[in-house]
Structure 1
Amino acid sequence: MMATIFETEYNWEPYLKYGTRQFVKRKTVIYNQGSIGDGFYYLHKGLVRIVTSTVKGRKRILNIVVPGQILGIQSLDQYAHFTTAVTVKDCVLYYFPRDQFKDLIMIYPDLRNLFAQTIIHKMRILLEGIKLNTLSSEQQIAILLLNIYDDFKNYKV
Protein backbone atom coordinates (compact mmCIF):
# COMPACT_ATOMS: atom_id res chain seq x y z
CA MET A 1 0.00 0.00 0.00
CA MET A 2 2.84 2.37 -0.62
CA ALA A 3 2.97 5.53 -2.69
CA THR A 4 6.24 5.58 -4.50
CA ILE A 5 8.60 8.35 -5.46
CA PHE A 6 8.39 7.58 -9.18
CA GLU A 7 4.66 8.26 -9.14
CA THR A 8 4.16 11.06 -6.64
CA GLU A 9 7.05 13.27 -7.77
CA TYR A 10 6.59 12.80 -11.50
CA ASN A 11 5.34 15.97 -13.19
CA TRP A 12 2.23 15.09 -15.19
CA GLU A 13 1.32 18.67 -16.17
CA PRO A 14 2.77 18.44 -19.74
CA TYR A 15 0.72 15.29 -20.44
CA LEU A 16 -2.67 16.31 -19.06
CA LYS A 17 -3.63 18.00 -22.33
CA TYR A 18 -3.67 14.55 -23.94
CA GLY A 19 -6.20 13.18 -21.45
CA THR A 20 -9.89 13.83 -20.90
CA ARG A 21 -10.62 15.60 -17.62
CA GLN A 22 -13.39 14.02 -15.59
CA PHE A 23 -15.06 15.23 -12.41
CA VAL A 24 -16.17 12.21 -10.39
CA LYS A 25 -18.34 12.32 -7.26
CA ARG A 26 -17.51 10.53 -4.02
CA LYS A 27 -18.39 6.80 -3.84
CA THR A 28 -18.41 6.40 -7.64
CA VAL A 29 -17.00 3.26 -9.26
CA ILE A 30 -14.39 4.20 -11.86
CA TYR A 31 -13.96 0.65 -13.13
CA ASN A 32 -15.09 -2.77 -11.90
CA GLN A 33 -13.14 -5.94 -11.35
CA GLY A 34 -13.76 -8.14 -14.39
CA SER A 35 -14.55 -5.27 -16.79
CA ILE A 36 -12.31 -4.90 -19.85
CA GLY A 37 -9.94 -1.96 -19.62
CA ASP A 38 -9.10 0.29 -22.54
CA GLY A 39 -7.11 3.07 -20.90
CA PHE A 40 -5.74 4.43 -17.65
CA TYR A 41 -6.42 7.31 -15.27
CA TYR A 42 -4.27 9.98 -13.65
CA LEU A 43 -5.62 11.22 -10.31
CA HIS A 44 -5.26 15.00 -10.16
CA LYS A 45 -7.36 15.63 -7.01
CA GLY A 46 -9.14 13.41 -4.49
CA LEU A 47 -8.62 9.85 -3.24
CA VAL A 48 -9.44 6.51 -4.85
CA ARG A 49 -9.71 3.16 -3.07
CA ILE A 50 -8.55 0.08 -4.98
CA VAL A 51 -10.32 -3.09 -3.84
CA THR A 52 -10.56 -6.70 -4.92
CA SER A 53 -13.18 -9.32 -4.22
CA THR A 54 -12.10 -12.45 -2.39
CA VAL A 55 -13.27 -15.93 -3.35
CA LYS A 56 -15.87 -15.62 -0.57
CA GLY A 57 -17.16 -12.37 -2.12
CA ARG A 58 -15.75 -9.99 0.50
CA LYS A 59 -14.06 -6.74 -0.53
CA ARG A 60 -10.41 -6.28 0.39
CA ILE A 61 -8.68 -2.89 0.16
CA LEU A 62 -5.40 -3.19 -1.72
CA ASN A 63 -4.36 0.42 -2.11
CA ILE A 64 -5.35 4.05 -1.74
CA VAL A 65 -4.43 6.16 -4.77
CA VAL A 66 -3.41 9.72 -3.92
CA PRO A 67 -3.08 12.74 -6.24
CA GLY A 68 -0.18 12.41 -8.64
CA GLN A 69 -0.64 8.66 -9.15
CA ILE A 70 -2.04 6.62 -12.01
CA LEU A 71 -4.52 3.78 -11.87
CA GLY A 72 -6.01 1.21 -14.18
CA ILE A 73 -2.86 0.79 -16.25
CA GLN A 74 -2.63 -2.95 -15.67
CA SER A 75 -5.48 -3.38 -18.16
CA LEU A 76 -3.99 -1.40 -21.05
CA ASP A 77 -3.57 -4.80 -22.70
CA GLN A 78 -7.39 -4.95 -22.92
CA TYR A 79 -7.73 -7.79 -20.45
CA ALA A 80 -10.11 -7.64 -17.52
CA HIS A 81 -9.38 -5.42 -14.53
CA PHE A 82 -8.42 -7.52 -11.50
CA THR A 83 -9.46 -4.77 -9.11
CA THR A 84 -12.26 -2.24 -8.63
CA ALA A 85 -11.56 1.49 -8.23
CA VAL A 86 -13.97 3.57 -6.12
CA THR A 87 -13.64 7.27 -5.31
CA VAL A 88 -13.29 8.03 -1.59
CA LYS A 89 -14.08 11.71 -2.10
CA ASP A 90 -14.87 13.97 -5.06
CA CYS A 91 -12.08 13.58 -7.62
CA VAL A 92 -10.61 15.15 -10.71
CA LEU A 93 -9.27 12.43 -13.00
CA TYR A 94 -7.72 12.49 -16.44
CA TYR A 95 -8.55 9.54 -18.67
CA PHE A 96 -6.06 8.39 -21.31
CA PRO A 97 -7.43 5.82 -23.79
CA ARG A 98 -5.15 3.03 -24.99
CA ASP A 99 -4.57 4.61 -28.42
CA GLN A 100 -3.68 7.93 -26.79
CA PHE A 101 -1.19 6.07 -24.57
CA LYS A 102 0.59 4.72 -27.66
CA ASP A 103 0.89 8.24 -29.06
CA LEU A 104 2.07 9.60 -25.70
CA ILE A 105 4.85 6.98 -25.49
CA MET A 106 6.01 7.89 -28.98
CA ILE A 107 6.15 11.60 -28.11
CA TYR A 108 7.56 11.09 -24.59
CA PRO A 109 9.63 7.87 -24.52
CA ASP A 110 10.65 8.51 -20.89
CA LEU A 111 7.11 7.55 -19.88
CA ARG A 112 7.88 3.88 -20.67
CA ASN A 113 9.98 3.60 -17.53
CA LEU A 114 7.30 5.23 -15.38
CA PHE A 115 4.66 2.81 -16.65
CA ALA A 116 6.91 -0.23 -16.24
CA GLN A 117 7.75 0.81 -12.67
CA THR A 118 4.08 1.45 -11.91
CA ILE A 119 3.00 -1.97 -13.18
CA ILE A 120 5.72 -3.63 -11.10
CA HIS A 121 4.56 -1.61 -8.07
CA LYS A 122 0.91 -2.68 -8.57
CA MET A 123 1.95 -6.35 -8.81
CA ARG A 124 3.91 -6.00 -5.56
CA ILE A 125 0.81 -4.57 -3.88
CA LEU A 126 -1.15 -7.66 -4.92
CA LEU A 127 1.58 -9.98 -3.68
CA GLU A 128 1.79 -8.12 -0.37
CA GLY A 129 -1.98 -8.51 -0.01
CA ILE A 130 -1.67 -12.26 -0.46
CA LYS A 131 1.23 -12.41 2.01
CA LEU A 132 -0.72 -10.30 4.53
CA ASN A 133 -3.36 -13.05 4.74
CA THR A 134 -0.80 -15.42 6.21
CA LEU A 135 0.00 -13.14 9.18
CA SER A 136 -1.66 -12.73 12.56
CA SER A 137 -4.03 -9.82 13.15
CA GLU A 138 -1.38 -7.98 15.17
CA GLN A 139 1.19 -8.39 12.40
CA GLN A 140 -1.32 -7.20 9.79
CA ILE A 141 -2.07 -4.04 11.80
CA ALA A 142 1.66 -3.36 12.27
CA ILE A 143 2.31 -3.65 8.53
CA LEU A 144 -0.66 -1.46 7.66
CA LEU A 145 0.53 1.23 10.09
CA LEU A 146 4.00 1.13 8.53
CA ASN A 147 2.44 1.47 5.09
CA ILE A 148 0.43 4.49 6.22
CA TYR A 149 3.65 6.06 7.47
CA ASP A 150 5.36 5.32 4.14
CA ASP A 151 2.45 6.76 2.15
CA PHE A 152 2.00 9.95 4.13
CA LYS A 153 5.42 10.38 5.82
CA ASN A 154 3.74 10.87 9.17
CA TYR A 155 4.15 8.86 12.40
CA LYS A 156 0.87 10.17 13.88
CA VAL A 157 -2.05 7.79 13.65
Structure 2
Amino acid sequence: MDLAFGNVRSCIVHQFERVVDLTEDEVNLLMTLENNEREFQAGEELTRKGKYNNYFYTLQSGLACAIKTLADGQRQVLDIFLPGQIIGLQEIGLKNSFTEFRALTRLKAHPFPKQSLMKIFEQSPKLAKIFFTIMAREQAMLIERIVNISRRNAPERLAHFLVEMKMRLGSCACDFHLPINQSLIGDTLGISSVHVSRTLKHLRDLGLIDNKQGHIVINDLDGLIKLSSFDSGYLETSPEWK
Protein backbone atom coordinates (compact mmCIF):
# COMPACT_ATOMS: atom_id res chain seq x y z
CA MET A 1 0.00 0.00 0.00
CA ASP A 2 1.29 3.42 -0.91
CA LEU A 3 1.66 5.48 2.26
CA ALA A 4 1.19 8.73 0.34
CA PHE A 5 -2.23 7.46 -0.73
CA GLY A 6 -1.09 7.31 -4.33
CA ASN A 7 -2.03 4.94 -7.11
CA VAL A 8 -2.06 1.19 -6.84
CA ARG A 9 -1.83 -0.64 -10.17
CA SER A 10 -5.38 -1.94 -9.86
CA CYS A 11 -7.70 -1.21 -6.98
CA ILE A 12 -9.50 -4.52 -6.85
CA VAL A 13 -6.54 -6.66 -7.86
CA HIS A 14 -4.44 -5.07 -5.10
CA GLN A 15 -7.13 -5.75 -2.52
CA PHE A 16 -7.72 -9.32 -3.59
CA GLU A 17 -4.04 -10.24 -3.87
CA ARG A 18 -3.69 -9.40 -0.19
CA VAL A 19 -6.03 -12.34 0.45
CA VAL A 20 -5.05 -14.96 -2.14
CA ASP A 21 -2.94 -15.48 -5.27
CA LEU A 22 -4.82 -14.75 -8.50
CA THR A 23 -4.53 -16.30 -11.94
CA GLU A 24 -4.13 -14.13 -15.04
CA ASP A 25 -7.76 -14.82 -16.00
CA GLU A 26 -8.97 -13.75 -12.55
CA VAL A 27 -6.91 -10.54 -12.73
CA ASN A 28 -8.33 -9.72 -16.17
CA LEU A 29 -11.87 -10.39 -14.98
CA LEU A 30 -11.48 -8.06 -12.02
CA MET A 31 -9.93 -5.32 -14.13
CA THR A 32 -13.06 -5.15 -16.30
CA LEU A 33 -14.58 -3.29 -13.35
CA GLU A 34 -12.05 -0.45 -13.70
CA ASN A 35 -12.82 1.08 -17.07
CA ASN A 36 -14.26 4.41 -15.96
CA GLU A 37 -11.84 6.49 -13.90
CA ARG A 38 -13.20 9.68 -12.32
CA GLU A 39 -11.59 12.41 -10.26
CA PHE A 40 -13.22 13.92 -7.17
CA GLN A 41 -12.13 17.00 -5.26
CA ALA A 42 -11.78 17.08 -1.46
CA GLY A 43 -15.24 17.43 0.06
CA GLU A 44 -17.09 16.24 -3.05
CA GLU A 45 -19.84 13.65 -2.71
CA LEU A 46 -19.51 10.28 -4.40
CA THR A 47 -23.02 9.30 -3.33
CA ARG A 48 -25.76 11.12 -1.42
CA LYS A 49 -27.73 9.58 1.44
CA GLY A 50 -31.24 8.51 0.51
CA LYS A 51 -30.68 8.69 -3.23
CA TYR A 52 -30.83 5.77 -5.63
CA ASN A 53 -27.33 4.45 -6.15
CA ASN A 54 -26.42 1.68 -8.57
CA TYR A 55 -22.64 1.97 -8.29
CA PHE A 56 -19.71 0.80 -6.25
CA TYR A 57 -16.37 2.63 -6.41
CA THR A 58 -12.86 1.23 -6.35
CA LEU A 59 -10.52 3.78 -4.79
CA GLN A 60 -7.42 4.34 -6.91
CA SER A 61 -5.78 7.16 -4.94
CA GLY A 62 -6.61 9.52 -2.10
CA LEU A 63 -8.93 9.06 0.88
CA ALA A 64 -12.72 8.84 1.20
CA CYS A 65 -15.14 8.24 4.04
CA ALA A 66 -18.65 7.03 4.83
CA ILE A 67 -20.70 9.50 6.87
CA LYS A 68 -24.05 9.26 8.64
CA THR A 69 -25.50 12.71 9.40
CA LEU A 70 -28.20 13.13 12.05
CA ALA A 71 -31.17 15.49 11.88
CA ASP A 72 -29.46 18.00 14.19
CA GLY A 73 -26.38 18.15 11.96
CA GLN A 74 -24.15 15.91 14.03
CA ARG A 75 -22.27 13.36 11.98
CA GLN A 76 -20.65 10.00 12.55
CA VAL A 77 -17.81 8.82 10.33
CA LEU A 78 -18.41 5.09 9.83
CA ASP A 79 -15.35 4.25 7.77
CA ILE A 80 -12.25 5.78 6.21
CA PHE A 81 -11.40 4.25 2.84
CA LEU A 82 -7.80 3.78 1.69
CA PRO A 83 -6.47 3.16 -1.84
CA GLY A 84 -7.36 -0.32 -3.02
CA GLN A 85 -10.67 -0.52 -1.14
CA ILE A 86 -14.08 -0.97 -2.71
CA ILE A 87 -16.51 1.72 -1.55
CA GLY A 88 -20.11 0.71 -0.96
CA LEU A 89 -19.97 -3.06 -0.60
CA GLN A 90 -21.81 -2.95 2.72
CA GLU A 91 -24.81 -1.41 0.92
CA ILE A 92 -24.99 -4.14 -1.71
CA GLY A 93 -28.57 -5.06 -0.77
CA LEU A 94 -29.94 -1.53 -0.51
CA LYS A 95 -31.77 0.32 -3.28
CA ASN A 96 -31.00 3.79 -1.91
CA SER A 97 -27.77 4.82 -0.27
CA PHE A 98 -27.97 4.58 3.52
CA THR A 99 -24.85 6.66 4.11
CA GLU A 100 -23.01 9.44 2.32
CA PHE A 101 -19.68 8.69 0.67
CA ARG A 102 -17.43 11.73 0.46
CA ALA A 103 -13.89 12.49 -0.72
CA LEU A 104 -11.57 13.50 2.12
CA THR A 105 -8.74 14.43 -0.25
CA ARG A 106 -8.52 14.79 -3.99
CA LEU A 107 -8.99 11.27 -5.25
CA LYS A 108 -9.37 9.01 -8.26
CA ALA A 109 -11.99 6.27 -8.25
CA HIS A 110 -13.59 3.84 -10.69
CA PRO A 111 -17.40 3.64 -10.49
CA PHE A 112 -18.91 0.40 -11.73
CA PRO A 113 -22.56 -0.79 -11.72
CA LYS A 114 -23.60 -3.31 -9.10
CA GLN A 115 -24.85 -5.61 -11.87
CA SER A 116 -21.25 -6.09 -13.01
CA LEU A 117 -20.70 -8.26 -9.95
CA MET A 118 -23.04 -10.88 -11.40
CA LYS A 119 -20.56 -11.52 -14.22
CA ILE A 120 -17.79 -11.97 -11.64
CA PHE A 121 -19.87 -14.33 -9.51
CA GLU A 122 -20.99 -16.40 -12.50
CA GLN A 123 -17.52 -16.83 -13.98
CA SER A 124 -15.49 -17.25 -10.81
CA PRO A 125 -16.85 -18.73 -7.56
CA LYS A 126 -13.37 -18.15 -6.11
CA LEU A 127 -13.62 -14.38 -6.66
CA ALA A 128 -17.17 -14.36 -5.30
CA LYS A 129 -15.83 -16.02 -2.15
CA ILE A 130 -13.16 -13.34 -1.78
CA PHE A 131 -15.75 -10.56 -2.19
CA PHE A 132 -17.68 -11.99 0.74
CA THR A 133 -14.47 -12.46 2.73
CA ILE A 134 -13.60 -8.78 2.27
CA MET A 135 -17.15 -7.77 3.22
CA ALA A 136 -16.82 -9.85 6.40
CA ARG A 137 -13.57 -8.04 7.24
CA GLU A 138 -15.27 -4.67 6.84
CA GLN A 139 -18.11 -5.85 9.06
CA ALA A 140 -15.57 -6.88 11.71
CA MET A 141 -13.96 -3.42 11.45
CA LEU A 142 -17.35 -1.78 12.00
CA ILE A 143 -18.03 -3.96 15.05
CA GLU A 144 -14.63 -3.05 16.51
CA ARG A 145 -15.36 0.63 15.86
CA ILE A 146 -18.63 0.35 17.81
CA VAL A 147 -16.79 -1.24 20.73
CA ASN A 148 -14.11 1.44 20.55
CA ILE A 149 -16.64 4.28 20.73
CA SER A 150 -18.90 2.77 23.35
CA ARG A 151 -16.48 1.09 25.76
CA ARG A 152 -13.14 2.92 25.65
CA ASN A 153 -12.21 6.33 27.01
CA ALA A 154 -10.81 9.05 24.76
CA PRO A 155 -7.08 8.16 25.06
CA GLU A 156 -7.88 4.49 24.48
CA ARG A 157 -10.08 5.33 21.45
CA LEU A 158 -7.45 7.51 19.84
CA ALA A 159 -4.65 5.04 20.55
CA HIS A 160 -6.73 2.25 19.00
CA PHE A 161 -7.53 4.39 15.96
CA LEU A 162 -3.86 5.24 15.35
CA VAL A 163 -2.74 1.62 15.64
CA GLU A 164 -5.52 0.52 13.28
CA MET A 165 -4.56 3.11 10.67
CA LYS A 166 -0.92 2.05 10.85
CA MET A 167 -1.91 -1.59 10.37
CA ARG A 168 -4.29 -0.83 7.51
CA LEU A 169 -1.69 1.28 5.74
CA GLY A 170 0.69 -1.66 5.87
CA SER A 171 3.42 0.57 7.24
CA CYS A 172 6.51 -1.23 8.49
CA ALA A 173 7.82 2.01 9.94
CA CYS A 174 6.13 3.71 12.87
CA ASP A 175 5.47 6.96 11.07
CA PHE A 176 2.88 7.77 8.42
CA HIS A 177 0.95 10.65 6.89
CA LEU A 178 -2.70 10.94 7.91
CA PRO A 179 -4.18 13.93 6.04
CA ILE A 180 -7.42 14.28 8.01
CA ASN A 181 -8.23 17.04 10.47
CA GLN A 182 -9.09 16.77 14.15
CA SER A 183 -12.77 17.44 13.48
CA LEU A 184 -13.00 14.35 11.28
CA ILE A 185 -11.06 12.25 13.79
CA GLY A 186 -13.53 13.43 16.42
CA ASP A 187 -16.49 12.43 14.24
CA THR A 188 -14.89 9.01 13.82
CA LEU A 189 -14.30 8.51 17.54
CA GLY A 190 -17.40 10.23 18.92
CA ILE A 191 -15.57 13.07 20.68
CA SER A 192 -15.21 16.79 19.96
CA SER A 193 -12.30 18.22 17.98
CA VAL A 194 -11.19 20.07 21.14
CA HIS A 195 -11.12 16.75 23.00
CA VAL A 196 -9.11 15.22 20.14
CA SER A 197 -6.53 18.00 20.52
CA ARG A 198 -6.29 17.43 24.29
CA THR A 199 -6.04 13.67 23.82
CA LEU A 200 -3.27 13.99 21.23
CA LYS A 201 -1.37 16.13 23.74
CA HIS A 202 -1.98 13.50 26.42
CA LEU A 203 -0.53 10.75 24.20
CA ARG A 204 2.45 12.99 23.39
CA ASP A 205 3.01 13.70 27.09
CA LEU A 206 3.05 9.95 27.70
CA GLY A 207 5.77 9.65 25.07
CA LEU A 208 3.61 7.39 22.88
CA ILE A 209 3.38 9.57 19.75
CA ASP A 210 4.39 12.77 18.05
CA ASN A 211 2.22 14.54 15.48
CA LYS A 212 2.58 17.59 13.27
CA GLN A 213 0.46 18.71 10.32
CA GLY A 214 -1.07 15.32 9.69
CA HIS A 215 2.14 13.36 10.16
CA ILE A 216 2.01 10.72 12.90
CA VAL A 217 5.10 9.26 14.55
CA ILE A 218 4.51 6.33 16.87
CA ASN A 219 7.26 6.32 19.47
CA ASP A 220 5.94 3.39 21.48
CA LEU A 221 3.77 0.99 19.47
CA ASP A 222 3.62 -1.56 22.28
CA GLY A 223 2.47 1.18 24.63
CA LEU A 224 -0.36 2.21 22.29
CA ILE A 225 -1.41 -1.42 21.87
CA LYS A 226 -1.42 -1.98 25.63
CA LEU A 227 -3.32 1.25 26.32
CA SER A 228 -6.05 0.47 23.80
CA SER A 229 -6.15 -3.34 24.25
CA PHE A 230 -5.66 -3.58 20.50
CA ASP A 231 -6.13 -7.03 18.97
CA SER A 232 -5.34 -7.17 15.25
CA GLY A 233 -7.45 -10.28 14.67
CA TYR A 234 -10.33 -8.29 13.17
CA LEU A 235 -8.03 -7.00 10.41
CA GLU A 236 -6.77 -10.43 9.39
CA THR A 237 -8.50 -11.77 6.27
CA SER A 238 -8.53 -15.42 5.30
CA PRO A 239 -10.47 -17.14 2.49
CA GLU A 240 -10.11 -20.50 4.25
CA TRP A 241 -13.64 -20.88 5.51
CA LYS A 242 -15.97 -23.81 4.94
With normalisation by structure 1, the TM-score equals 0.79
Q: Counterparts of 1:1-157 in structure 2 under 5 Å? A: 7=15, 9-10=17-18, 14=28, 15-19=30-34, 20-53=36-69, 57-134=73-150, 135-152=152-169, 153=171, 154-156=173-175, 157=216
2:17 and 2:102 mapped to 1: Cα distance?
A: 23
Deviations 1:109-157 (A, max 9, x none): 3221221122212222322222122221111111112112212224222
Measured at CA, do residues 122 and 140 of structure 1 come closer, stay the same or move farther in structure 2, by a change above 3 Å? same
| Post-superposition offset of 1:71 | 1.0
Give the drift of 1:56: 5.6
Query: RMSD of the TM alignment (CA)?
Result: 2.6
CA distance in 2, matches of 1:74, 1:32: 15
Provide the secondary structure at the position in 1 that maps to 2:144: helix
Aligned partner letter, 1:39: Y
Deviation at 1:13, TM superposition (A): 5.9
Q: Is the 8 A contact 1:23 1:93 kept in 2?
A: yes
Which structure: greater strand fraction?
Answer: 1
C-alpha displacement at 1:103, in angstroms?
A: 1.3
Partners in 2 of 1:56 and 1:8 — Cα distance? 39
Q: Tell me the percent identity.
A: 18
Give the paired residue count. 152
AA partner of residue 76 (structure 1) = I
Report the Cα offset of residue 48 of structure 1: 1.0
- Choose between structure 1 and 2 for higher RCO, CA contacts under 8 A separated by at least 6 residues: 1
Structure 2: which 5+ residue stretches go unaligned? 1-13, 176-215, 217-242
Q: Hey, what's the Cα distance between the residues in 1 that align with 2:131 and 2:167?
A: 21
TM-score by length of 2: 0.54
SS at match of 2:42: coil
Structure (1 or 2) with the larger CA radius of gyration: 2
Query: Structure 1: where are the runs of 5+ without partners?
Result: 1-5
Please say if residues 120 and 128 of structure 2, whose CA atoms lie closer than 8 Å, have aligned partners that are also in contact. Answer: no
Contact residue 21 and residue 95 of structure 1 kept, 8 A: yes
